Amino acid sequence: MTAPTQKFAAVTGAGSGIGRACAHALADAGYRVALLGRRMEALEETAAAAPERYLLLPTDVSQPQAVAQAFERIGEAFGRLDLLFNNAGMSARGVSIDELPFEQWQAVVDVNLTGSFLCAQAAFRLMRQQQPQGGRIINNGSISAHAPRPNSAPYTSTKHAITGLTKSLSLDGRPFDIACGQLDIGNALTEMARPMTQGVRQANGEIAVEATMDVAHVASALLYMAGLPLQANVQFMTVMATKMPFVGRG
């Protein structure tokens, strides 16, 4: 069967930051893009320049029924799904683990890990059933999938878990031409990363300003991963500000 020329993608956390930048890059590359995020007004802002390229799906990715309904709409509207960028995420207040309320731990796990699982599961189901079969899932791992910041147990734990999800999806997708890779991002200059420019706590306890990079470089990395044929896969890619304090002793 001839592969379709139109490509279809879904981006979670598409209402701002990395998700918005990557959704724009995918749309500019010719994809129709489903935008998933909690707030319709934020999704409308993402889609404002070219609304015909987007499908807006207000979705709380931590809720199984909401995810199921969103991906049902994707199937109905697009007929297939070629790419999922599992990007939605949140962090908790940077406090010592003994002072962290359970509710904050649970909220981070619900969005970062359970949300990624639910969206990957729904995308996998579509990709397995569609003809031609197959597709690609890219998880946003963050460099916290490799090393923690101080007082970041919820976020770091979920991002380490994303690596396990990525590997499992990569293995389980082989029979169905479903590829899965992970994009680990460090200090892309979005609102979430803006505190880096003011100074954040380092491993030695000092407060230091950190280097950042344009979020456009994240979108370029995602496009490279997404553009490969399904016979090839970037299993893990790290894209980060060159001078951020990640490699080496902190």
User: Percentages helix, strand, coil for the chain, rounded to the nearest 5?
Assistant: 45, 20, 35
d(CA 190, CA 139): 18
d(CA 49, CA 51): 6
d(CA 89, CA 242): 23
d(CA 49, CA 55): 13
**Strand-pair partners of 26:** none
Q: 31, 54, 155, 224: which is the annotated catalytic residue?
A: 155
Q: Is 224 a known active-site residue?
A: no
Helix/strand/coil for 11: strand
What is the residue type of 151? N
Active site (catalytic) residues: 155
